Amino acid sequence: MIYKTPEEVERSRVACLLVTKTLTEVGKMLRPGLTGKEIDAFAEEFIRDNGAVPGFKGLYGCPSTLLVSRNEEVVHGLPDKDQVFQDGDILSIDCGTIVDEFYGDAAYTFCVGDVAEDIMELCRHTKHSLYLGIDAARAGRRVGDISFAIQRYTEKIGGYGVVRELVGHGLGRSLHEAPDVPNFGKRGRGPVLKEGLIIAIEPMTTQGSKDVHARDDGWTIITRDGKPAAHYEHSIAITKGGGPADLMSDHRPIEEAIRNNPNLKVVDNLDEELVARYQPALVC
């Protein structure tokens, strides 16, 4: 595993904050009738205008800057002209950047228009599980502690499904570094977390069965039962001494954009105190 110096953590933070800014701008635009292609073109231009490079485009053959997964699409949805957003959709938008050699990575599920209450609840629950995972990510503990916290809350308490095929990951000069950070697992197992490790924690939660498969496009992962899924992601750095993790990406500006966009519905925090514990030092 690659442990970053404080200087490298700061470089990674800039990349993650550009992801936050991009998702914030996208959050200002979203409305029914807009297409995936339109927000993707905007995001690419925005990232390049900021002197950076889209992190996903071209990596493993990925054709786009954003990955936009709608409703039963879990992750890796391709934003094209046929992806027309509709009232009642949930859109999991994942974005990566490269700034000064370092990757940033974060995702947010946006709720467009009149989203059904049970689906809003899926989103709230998934976002809260992300913060529970972050709260478990402390020096001296193990990756399995993060995994367990997310799985227990998602499956045991919520009755939702945890996707097994896709996991969180280390982050740095590569988008995917060791360790894998699954959203399921056992307490006290897996690699030990140490200061300077940067990881992306990203619960992918299904309303129904946890089973997923890829569409014919070879990219889009969808639920087998066609029920919706949500996906929230933050990149964090492990701090010394077992204290709370250092959040690199930031949901606050994204949520402010959502509150100011009449086409979107806000996904409330289930525990404001927990979320407040993990506010990034740098506001963009």
Min dist CB 200 to Mg ion, Å, is 4
Which two structure tokens, joined as six digits, stand for 70? 């709608």
16 belongs to the binding site for Mg ion (CB under 5 A): no
Q: Which CB sits closer to Mg ion, 91 or 107?
A: 107
State the pairing for strand pair 198-201/168-170. antiparallel
Distance CA 23, CA 96 (A): 10
Secondary structure (H, E, C), 79-113: CCCCCECCCCCEEEEEEEEEECCEEEEEEEEEEEC
* Distances, alpha carbon 64 to alpha carbons 29, 97, 127, 218, in Å: 18, 12, 25, 14
Sole binder of Mg ion in the list 107, 198, 229, 238 (CB under 5 A): 107
Nearer to Mg ion, 222 or 263 (CB): 222
Q: Does 200 bind Mg ion (CB under 5 A)?
A: yes
Q: Which of 55, 89, 54, 52 is nearest to 69 (CA)?
A: 89
Per CB under 5 A, 145 contacts Mg ion: no
Three-class SS state of 35: strand
Pick the binder of Mg ion from 8, 40, 72, 94 (CB under 5 A). Answer: 94
One character per residue 53-92, x = contact with Mg ion (rule: CB under 5 A): ----------------------------------------
Closer of 158 and 203 to Mg ion (Cβ): 203
Taking phi first (over 0 means left), then psi (-120 to 50 degrees means alpha), and beta for anything else, what does residue 33 get?
left
What track of x and - describes contact with Mg ion for positions 208 through 237 (by CB under 5 A)? -------------------------x----
Residues 125-144 interacting with Mg ion (rule: CB under 5 A):
none
By CB under 5 A, name the one of 8, 105, 177, 255 that touches Mg ion.
105
With respect to Mg ion, which residue has the nearer C-beta, 56 or 263? 56
Q: Which is nearer to Mg ion, 94 or 135 (CB)?
A: 94
* Number of residues in contact with Mg ion under rule CB under 5 A: 5
Torsion of CA 255, 258, 260, 266, to 10 degrees: -90
| Tokens representing residue 241 in the block | 């001494």
The nearest distance, CB 77 to Mg ion, in angstroms, is 12
- Alpha-carbon 128 to chain mean position: 12
Closest CA to 109 of 129, 95, 123: 123
Of 13 and 263, CB closest to Mg ion: 13
Binding residues for Mg ion, per CB under 5 A? Answer: 94, 105, 107, 200, 233
